[in-house]
Structure 1
Amino acid sequence: MQPKSLQMKNFGPFIDEKLDFSQLQAGGLFLISGKTGAGKTTIFDGMTFALFGETSGNLRSGKEMRSMFASPTEETSVTFTFEHQRFTYQIQRKPEQTLAKKRGDGVTNQTAKVQLTIFDADGKEKKQISKRTEVDAFIKDLLQLDAKQFFQIMMLPQGEFRNFLIASSNEKERVLRNLFGTEMYQQFNEWLKEQVKAQSRKLEHQQLVASQIMERFEWEEVQEVLTVAECLTLWAQDLEKQQIQLQKLLQRKDQATQEMKAAQDAFYRAKEIENARIEWQELQEKAQLLNAQKNEIDQKKARLTQLVWALEHQEIMQQKEERVNEAQQAAQQIDETKQLLQDVQRQQVSWQDQRPLIEETKKKHEAANQRSQQIQQQIPLAQRTEKQREEVAQQEKAAQQQTSKLTKITQVLANTKTQEQQLVEKIETLRTFQTEALKLAETQLLIEKWQQAKALVREAEQKTGEQQLIHSDLVLEKQQLETSLLELQKTLKQETSQNARMQIARLRLLLEENEPCPVCGSLDHPNAQEHTTYPIEDILASEQRLEQMQEKLTIVQQQVSANQTLQEQALLRINEWQATSVSAEKQAAAAWNDVQQAYARLQPFETQEKLTEETIAQELKKRQSINQQKASSYEAAQKTYQAVKGQLTKLDESYQQVSEQAKKAEEARQLAAGKLASLQEQLGGATYQQLQADLASIHLLLREYTQQIEADARQEAQIKEQQAILSEKLKNVQQFFEEKQAAKAKAEQRLMQRLQEAAMTEEAMRELIAQAPQTTLLTEEIKTYEQETAFVQQRLILLDTQLKEQATMDLIQLETTYLQLQTVMEKLQQETVRKQEKVNSNQRLFDELQVIYQKNVEELAQLGQLQQLAETINGENTKKTSLERYVLQQFLTEILEVANERLSRLTRGRYQFELADKVGSYRSSTGLEIDIYDDNAGQVRRAHTLSGGESFIAALALAISLADVIQQRAGGIEIEALFIDEGFGSLDEESLEMAMEALEMIENEGRMIGIISHVRELRARILQQVFVETNGSGQSRIRIKE
């Protein structure tokens, strides 16, 4: 990937800045310089945000990168263009942001947006994507990198890698874990520790549960037990005895149950016989009551028969009434039809009376039609007359316009000639500004040279003061570090002594008879001292504290050494800036002398005051302003003069054209007026508008006459149609009436026949039909009576058979015997249940305890294996190397192999990286230590023995190689740009020289390398430079050195 351009709008300190990488030499070295906080690293943040929607290191969100100087209505956006595999990609991303509404008050919340445009090798647009998820997936697939990997490959923080060289294995482990994502090994290690703790807690819990179960067992014969195994054996014996007793109790309960059931059967049989006698007496009484109701039921049956007959013949009466109603409706329709027919006849008489008026209307219609035809023949001639009149008016207007235009051109031509003469005189007056401008420019250059010298003096004084403050802070910091170092050494000594006591106690516990001592080799220790026993957790915790203290001690020692180096560098810079200040003061004095001489050549000046920077600046500004005004006036006059000359030429041409056009316009007007007079004579004075009005009036009359004639015809047709329809309807209605009269007589005769057969009047039948709802009630009453009578008779016969030859029994005695036997059985039942529950409960406890015992045996074995695995993976082994550190050793070995190729080239074969294989005193210093093989000395050195320049070269080789390895593991994607952030400020002159030689060698690999730094010496060594300049208010601008 090769960056092409980066445009940032309202992003960080930038309002609208564009960095065009194409202006920088491809595959070259360039410097990004500027003051601290100017926004140098923000350039890289912009690229990372455009690609992935987050800043480098993900320290700030895109929303937080919105510039505080942005206008409330303007959007924040970053547009990044890069080339990859001959295709060009332009991605624009806007963060979530809150903007003021452009119309009205209030704000609007804008969601994050992104747009990716893809161009082929010829620059033609191939595709555009604007959906955020699709763009993110496309970029990740294209680069085969996420934001974190992109930052690791493209941005190399040099200070971190120099510290990485001399850091402990623990510190390297944290850095490499972040780079290669080996957190899962650390998490697995922590998970194993938690599993060991959880397994231990589980076993303790199960032991507690076993103890609680042992306390709940109900003994038949109480025994004393010590272990779970003993308890299980004794419980089995006791349960066998309890089962034998339970079986005996169950046999007694079964016998008592049989005796109780026999007594129960005898009691219930006697009770059934007594209930049957009582029921027989009640049924005899009910039979007598039913016999008394027989006459009333017979009457209801007769009434029910009449109601049923009335309902069966109800339809005949309904048919008779329907026929009567139909005959009445037919008679009414005959009367209505006759009345309508009379109305139509009256309308026909009225229509005959209006015949003379209609004939007169037809005559008027014919006359109006003839007049309409005459007018329509005259209208075309009238239209031609109107068009000719309009043409005459247009010709007159055109002639007037040409005359007016000729008058105006004549006046303008005279005014323009006067203006030309005035401009010639003005140009001659303004020519003196050129000589004055040369003198003012010379003086201004001398003043700027003097101001630069004064600015250098002020900067040198400021830098000297800053370095003096830094040196004072470093002295104070060193005192604090030395105090901390003494305290750490004292605490470390105490902790080492305590740990030794713990280790001795631990080794003593491991001593076995007839086995040699791991310390002295002796087979016995008759005078061994007594030591406190320490848990393994306390010993491990002590070792961890020792490692942490050793790490802190190493860090503080490194800080003390670094502080001393920084103090020396600060003193060196103080001397350099003081020398710069003296030199700059001399330059300022010489420059001021030149300014005074130039000032004298500009006489006469209006002011006679003593020469100062302020008076000279004011006078120069005033003279420059006046001279600028003269120059502007001169230019304007020249342009105006040329324009006036061109205008005069055009005016002469226009005058000739307009004169000819005016003459032609007058001739055309006269010809059109003659044609108009001829047409008006042919019309006899009538106009087109009058003819149109007459024609419209005639058309209205024609429409009115036509409507009257058509209405008369419609009325005639309507009257004839109604007479035919009503005549036919009257005939049909009369026929319908005769049919309904016959049906009515037939229905009345049928009804009379049924009434005579039943010896009943029509009125009586209507009353029966009205009482029809009583039918259901009477039917139910009769049915219920008959069912009860049948039931009583059948039940009495059954009871007579059942009670025949049955003797009377003593119910009270039988019930007493039954209840006594029931009480005995219930007591045995309760005792059996209690015994059964006891046996069941004890059996469950026995089974539970047996399961827990078996699980404890199995899980104890698993705990031992798990604990051994956890200690091995945690690094509690002979190599003092954890599983994660072992994996990181492979990554680091791969990095060092790649780095050695560069380091050998950068140091001309003198140095090589080596991964130390020595086992340190603690895990914190074992596994990831880096040594340097020095070919000149023929031996291995510690990395911290390298000088400043050597350590920078080593760190640079290591950092770039690390980026290469990460890049290769990300899919071999080509990243042709690299940014190195700071790392040069702490180098002395010799070290800086070595660093620059190394960078120039790296430059030859073909990468675009950007150095982000504010170190002044780099400006003289690196030709391509990008300046990030501030304006004093917090805003910054980007400028490429030309």
Structure 2
Amino acid sequence: MRAITLTMQAFGPYRDKQKIDFSSLGEEAIFLITGPTGAGKTTIFDAMCFALYGRASGSDRDQDSMRSHFAEEGESTYVEFLFELRGKLYRIVRMPKQMRRKERGEGWKEEPARAELYITHLDNEKLMATKVKEVNDYIEEVMGLDYDQFRKMIMIPQGEFRKLISENSKEREDILQKIFKTQFYSELTDYLKDQSKKLEKEIEQFQWKIEQEIGKIHWGTDAEVTLEQEEPQKIIDLLRERMEHQSSLIKQEQNQLELLSSSADKLQTNFHEARHLHEQFTEQQKLLEDKKALQSQESFMSAVQEELKWARQADEVKGFEQQWKDREQERKKAEVDQEAKAQHRIRTESEFSNIEKEYKELEGKEEKRQELKKEWEQKEEERKKLTHFLKIESQLTQITQKLTKSKEQVTALEEELKHLKAERHQLKEISKDERKVTSQMYEVKNEVVHLTKQLKDLKRLAKEWDVLKEMRASYQQFMKDFRQMEKEQKDAKSYYEAALEEIREHHAYTLSLQLENGSPCPVCGNSHHPAPAVQPAQVVSQTKLEQLKQEADEKQKSFQQMQDEAVQVKSKGETQRQLTDTLFEEYKKVVGTMDEPSIQSAVKQSEQSLNIKSKLSEELTRQAEEMEQSVKKLENIEKREEELNSKIEKAQQDWHTSYQEQTRLQTQKESFQENYSFETTNPQKLKELTEQAEASYKEETKKWENVQERYSKLRDQLQQAKVAEEEGNKYVKQAQEAEEIRKEKFNQTLVQFQFSSVESYWNSLLTKKAIEEKQEKIDQYKQQKAIIEERLYSLNEKLADQQKPDLEALHTEWEEEKQKLTKQQQIVNELEMALSQNKQVYITMETLLSEQGDLAQAYYDIAELAQLSRGDNHLRLSLERYVLAAFLDEIIVQANIRLDQMTDHRYQLVRSDALAKRGAQSGLDLEVIDHHTGQKRSVRTLSGGEGFKASLSLALGMADVVQSHAGGVQLDTLFIDEGFGTLDEVSLEQAIDCLRSLQDGNRMLGIISHVAQLKEEIPAKLQIQTGPAGSSVEFVFQ
């Protein structure tokens, strides 16, 4: 990847749009980034990294702090980065989330982060992604690097790579993990550990299951088995022998069960046969008793048979009697209906006679009805004409009033128009100075805004100055406490180390007491002991040693916390100083010098100036508002004049139209007065006369119509009544004849069925249900008698030679045999159940033991792998650390190439092979070989300049190794942030020569530094300048 252009707006200290064209470097592959502290040198790296990955370059910068504090409300924060990769041009535009003022209404709204990615080819630009996640994924794919790898390879921020030297082995492991993504090996170790625990737990579960199965075994009361300390396989062998013994017992008991079952079956058969014979004797006795009871009912059943005979004959006659009764009812009903028809005919004749008289009377009044109709029609016509005449008079009155009102309206409008013209002329004179006053008002308001911001910033400067003074005082006190804590920590550590050394000497002395010439030493193995340890003067107790260790650890922890806090306090103080300097630089001309009296004086002068300008602004605003009101009023007057002219013209047209209508209506009124005369001109009176004439006519007409309708209706009803009466007489006669015929037939039937009288017939009558019940009773009697006699005959023959058995004795004998059989069956069942369960336990235990063995074998393999992978080995090296150590070895090889050049062949980095103490993990500790002394020592012992060289070498080596492991990604851009100030002139020259070697392959290198020698050595400079409105950046070439 090679950077081409970087564009920023409202980003960090850069408020205005800044465009950095890296292509302008030409052949200059190394350039220096220079500018005042806090001007925004590192921000360039932040912008580049943010454009690609949405994150800043250093570990102490976040996205929320990217928007420039100098930016105005309407300015957007964004970064645009154009770079070349594998022959393609990529352009990425990214905006962080930021607060913007709402376009409508009051308040602010948060705009989310946005990103766009384009590919440029032959002047054609193609949009590839528009969502933040899509852009991030695409960049990682084409770059072949994630965020951590990229910033480690291309950007070397302040202090970031110093961690590789200064941090402990664990923190170095965390750094390398992020870069080389070796979490897989850690996850593999955890997986093996989990699998080992899982298998161990499964084996314990199988052991528990086996114990549960052993508890299920039925050994029996005759077995003598002791299972304590017995292996499961031995218990299986004992169980197999016990099952063979149980099978033999079952066969013996089953033979006994068969004998008892045969005996019980025989006794059961004897009992059932005896019980059947006993039941027959009982039935014989009961049948004899039932036969005797039936014989006593014989005379009663004969009487029922005779009663049933006469009831059946009466039932035959009953139908003829019913026919006679039906005809009698029909005749009576016909006579009643005929009497009603005769009465109806008489009433109808009376009503018709009356209506006939009234009909003839009204028929002669037709002429009177026509006169009433004519009078009504004349009144109605007169009322219509009067209504029309009164309407004309009303319209004429209204139009006359309208004419008068229109004339008055025109006069009033003309008068108002006259006054408006005079007022308009006056307002035109007033509005001539409106523009001048408005211009003055805006000029003063701008001054007020400027003075308000100036006063606000000056007050903030005073506040931040006070905060800075307080922080300086706090820092001095904190550093005093820090130095005291440092002394206490060193003292506690010295006391503990001295006590520990005493105990070691005491242990050595104790071992020396056991040494004998010729016998090997348990420590070194030597058989010769020339200088055994001597007894120390004093030895602290183990309790005292642990107490000293605890105190030393606590002091170390407190010191480390204060050390971290010191960095934070110093960082906050530096940030506060930069903020105060920035505010002072903007208002340096106003304040003069950076001290409290000057700041307070500037604040007071700004307040006075703001007060004067504010009052002037209020006065000019008042004048401008008054003039604005006059202008608006003038516009309203001109608009009103147009409306009045339009209204006057319309009112005149309306008056002319109304005058023509008045003339027309007056002519119509005079014509009516000449041609028509009215009985009354009161419309209500005339309406009442018309309604009276109408009512008289309609009353007479309605009366005549009602009489006509009733006359016709009664005439038809009288005719119908006469016809109905004649038909009724005929029907009565027919009903009387039918009744006589049916009565005669009934009497003949009585004689036919031998009834002496009607009363004897009625006495013999029974309901159908009663007849059926009596017949059923007779049939049951006969059937029961025949069955008893037949069954009694059969039993007498069967029991002629038999004796009644003793059932109780036979049943007792059978029950005793059944109890013996049940007990024997229970014995057999218990033996079979025990054998069946033992067989199941036997099969289950064999399966469990087999599976447990397979699991145990797998557990031994997995457990050993887990133990090795987590570092529980002679090297104290976990699997992940082994892989990281291999990466670190590659980095060291590349780093030593640069370190050798920069230190004039003095230093060489190596990975320590010493085992860590107190069970800690090994493999990632760094040491340096000093070829001047030939000794190894910790990299932490390097001085500031030496440490920078080592850090830079590691950073460059890291970039080379990561690049080689990232699929051959070629990165042609590298940035280094600070650190050269710790080098002397010779070391600096060596470092520059080393960096110049990086130019091979057309690589571009940017360096941030304040070192004067670098400014002389490097002709291309990216110059950053600060100002009240933020920073600016441009390339400068010497």
**TM-score, normalising length: structure 1:** 0.57
Structure 1 contact 481–559 (Cα < 8 Å) conserved: no
Change in Cα spacing, 1:202 to 1:706, as seen in structure 2 (3 Å) is same
Q: Give how far 1:217 is off.
A: 0.8
Structure 1 contact 168–924 (Cα < 8 Å) conserved: no
Partner of residue 792 from structure 2, selected from 785, 796, 804: 796
Change in Cα spacing, 1:457 to 1:228, as seen in structure 2 (3 Å) is closer
Indicate the residue corresponding to 2:219 in structure 1.
217
**SS of alignment partner, residue 806 of structure 1:** coil
Q: Give how far 1:389 is off.
A: 4.6
Indicate the residue corresponding to 1:101 in structure 2.
none
Q: Give how far 1:168 is off.
A: 3.8
Are residue 203 (structure 1) and residue 206 (structure 2) matched?
yes
Indicate the residue corresponding to 1:678 in structure 2.
667
Partner of residue 299 from structure 1, selected from 303, 317, 325: 303
Structure 2 contact 451–609 (Cα < 8 Å) conserved: no
Structure 2 contact 275–807 (Cα < 8 Å) conserved: yes
Are residue 285 (structure 1) and residue 250 (structure 2) matched?
no
**SS of alignment partner, residue 208 of structure 1:** helix
Correspondences of 1:722-801 after superposition (within 5 Å): 723-724=715-716, 727-728=719-720, 731=723, 734=727, 737-738=731-732, 748=743, 751-760=746-755, 773-775=769-771, 777-801=773-797
Change in Cα spacing, 1:208 to 1:692, as seen in structure 2 (3 Å) is same
Indicate the residue corresponding to 1:860 in structure 2.
853
Correspondences of 1:578-589 after superposition (within 5 Å): 588=591
Are residue 456 (structure 1) and residue 461 (structure 2) matched?
yes
Q: Over residues 32-75 of structure 1, what are the superposed CA-to-partner deviations in whole Å (9 max), with x where a residue is unaligned?
A: 99xx999947999xxxxxxxxxxxxxxxxxxxx9x9xx9xx999
Q: Give how far 1:666 is off.
A: 6.7
What amino acid is aligned across from residue 279 of structure 1 in structure 2?
A: E
User: Could you tell me how far apart the structure 2 residues matched to 1:439 and 1:815 are?
Assistant: 134
User: Could you tell me how far apart the structure 1 residues matched to 2:832 and 2:134 are?
Assistant: 75
Change in Cα spacing, 1:287 to 1:629, as seen in structure 2 (3 Å) is closer
Q: Give how far 1:856 is off.
A: 1.5
Q: Give how far 1:814 is off.
A: 5.8
User: Could you tell me how far apart the structure 1 residues matched to 2:437 and 2:466 are?
Assistant: 45
Q: Give how far 1:788 is off.
A: 2.6
User: Could you tell me how far apart the structure 1 residues matched to 2:643 and 2:825 are?
Assistant: 139
Q: Over residues 262-299 of structure 1, what are the superposed CA-to-partner deviations in whole Å (9 max), with x where a residue is unaligned?
A: 44544554454444334323322321220110111222
Structure 2 contact 462–596 (Cα < 8 Å) conserved: no
Q: Give how far 1:301 is off.
A: 3.2
What amino acid is aligned across from residue 404 of structure 1 in structure 2?
A: A
Structure 1 contact 341–726 (Cα < 8 Å) conserved: yes
Indicate the residue corresponding to 1:247 in structure 2.
251
Q: Over residues 723-755 of structure 1, what are the superposed CA-to-partner deviations in whole Å (9 max), with x where a residue is unaligned?
A: 546755774683694566666556555555544
Which deviates more from structure 2 when the two are superposed, residues 575-584 or residues 412-421? 575-584
Gaps of 5+ in 2: 1-11, 21-42, 51-55, 69-96, 119-124, 501-522, 527-552, 903-908, 929-935, 968-976, 984-991, 993-1003, 1010-1023, 1034-1038
Q: Give how far 1:864 is off.
A: 2.5
Partner of residue 627 from structure 1, selected from 612, 616, 622: 616
User: Could you tell me how far apart the structure 2 residues matched to 1:920 and 1:412 are?
Assistant: 107
Correspondences of 1:221-232 after superposition (within 5 Å): 222=224, 226-232=230-236
Q: Over residues 556-596 of structure 1, what are the superposed CA-to-partner deviations in whole Å (9 max), with x where a residue is unaligned?
A: 99878756655765787798899999999996368999999
User: Could you tell me how far apart the structure 2 residues matched to 1:829 and 1:621 are?
Assistant: 120
**SS of alignment partner, residue 284 of structure 2:** helix
What amino acid is aligned across from residue 244 of structure 1 in structure 2?
A: S
Q: Give how far 1:402 is off.
A: 0.7
Structure 1 contact 453–585 (Cα < 8 Å) conserved: no
Which deviates more from structure 2 when the two are superposed, residues 919-928 or residues 775-784? 919-928
- Taking only aligned residues, the RMSD between alpha carbons, in angstroms, comes to 7.6
Correspondences of 1:343-358 after superposition (within 5 Å): 346=351, 348-349=355-356, 350=358, 352-355=360-363
Quick check: which has more Rg, 1 or 2?
Answer: 2
Indicate the residue corresponding to 1:841 in structure 2.
834
**SS of alignment partner, residue 682 of structure 1:** helix
Indicate the residue corresponding to 1:53 in structure 2.
none
What amino acid is aligned across from residue 844 of structure 2 in structure 1?
A: V
Correspondences of 1:292-441 after superposition (within 5 Å): 292-307=296-311, 321=325, 323-336=327-340, 346=351, 348-349=355-356, 350=358, 352-355=360-363, 360-373=368-381, 386-413=394-421, 423=430
Q: Give how far 1:399 is off.
A: 1.3
User: Could you tell me how far apart the structure 2 residues matched to 1:777 and 1:244 are?
Assistant: 75
User: Could you tell me how far apart the structure 1 residues matched to 2:293 and 2:598 are?
Assistant: 153
Indicate the residue corresponding to 1:971 in structure 2.
none
Q: Give how far 1:205 is off.
A: 0.6
User: Could you tell me how far apart the structure 1 residues matched to 2:764 and 2:134 are?
Assistant: 102
Change in Cα spacing, 1:790 to 1:23, as seen in structure 2 (3 Å) is farther
Q: Give how far 1:783 is off.
A: 4.0
Q: Give how far 1:300 is off.
A: 2.4
Partner of residue 844 from structure 2, selected from 821, 842, 851: 851
Indicate the residue corresponding to 1:720 in structure 2.
712
Correspondences of 1:602-1001 after superposition (within 5 Å): 623-624=612-613, 627-636=616-625, 638-639=627-628, 671-684=660-673, 698=690, 702=694, 705=697, 709=701, 712-713=704-705, 716-717=708-709, 720-721=712-713, 723-724=715-716, 727-728=719-720, 731=723, 734=727, 737-738=731-732, 748=743, 751-760=746-755, 773-775=769-771, 777-806=773-802, 818-819=813-814, 823=816, 826-827=819-820, 829-869=822-862, 872=865, 875-876=869-870
User: Could you tell me how far apart the structure 2 residues matched to 1:230 and 1:274 are?
Assistant: 65
Q: Give how far 1:795 is off.
A: 1.5
Q: Over residues 615-659 of structure 1, what are the superposed CA-to-partner deviations in whole Å (9 max), with x where a residue is unaligned?
A: 978876665465345424543565566678778888999998888
What amino acid is aligned across from residue 405 of structure 2 in structure 1?
A: K
What amino acid is aligned across from residue 865 of structure 1 in structure 2?
A: A
**SS of alignment partner, residue 465 of structure 2:** helix
Change in Cα spacing, 1:700 to 1:139, as seen in structure 2 (3 Å) is farther
User: Could you tell me how far apart the structure 2 residues matched to 1:643 and 1:590 are?
Assistant: 52
Which deviates more from structure 2 when the two are superposed, residues 475-484 or residues 316-325? 475-484
Change in Cα spacing, 1:826 to 1:855, as seen in structure 2 (3 Å) is same
What amino acid is aligned across from residue 465 of structure 1 in structure 2?
A: E
Which deviates more from structure 2 when the two are superposed, residues 196-205 or residues 316-325? 316-325
Q: Over residues 808-856 of structure 1, what are the superposed CA-to-partner deviations in whole Å (9 max), with x where a residue is unaligned?
A: 767787667x35xx53563364145324413531442243034213311
Structure 1 contact 317–751 (Cα < 8 Å) conserved: yes
Structure 2 contact 320–746 (Cα < 8 Å) conserved: yes
Q: How many residues align?
A: 815
Structure 1 contact 320–751 (Cα < 8 Å) conserved: yes
What amino acid is aligned across from residue 789 of structure 1 in structure 2?
A: K
Correspondences of 1:78-89 after superposition (within 5 Å): 80=112
User: Could you tell me how far apart the structure 2 residues matched to 1:999 and 1:775 are?
Assistant: 135
Correspondences of 1:543-622 after superposition (within 5 Å): 588=591
Change in Cα spacing, 1:746 to 1:401, as seen in structure 2 (3 Å) is farther
Which deviates more from structure 2 when the two are superposed, residues 823-832 or residues 703-712? 703-712
What amino acid is aligned across from residue 679 of structure 1 in structure 2?
A: Q
Indicate the residue corresponding to 2:93 in structure 1.
none
Change in Cα spacing, 1:188 to 1:835, as seen in structure 2 (3 Å) is same
Q: Give how far 1:792 is off.
A: 1.3
Q: Give how far 1:799 is off.
A: 0.5
Q: Give how far 1:365 is off.
A: 2.4
Change in Cα spacing, 1:582 to 1:652, as seen in structure 2 (3 Å) is closer
Structure 1 contact 464–574 (Cα < 8 Å) conserved: no
**SS of alignment partner, residue 203 of structure 1:** helix
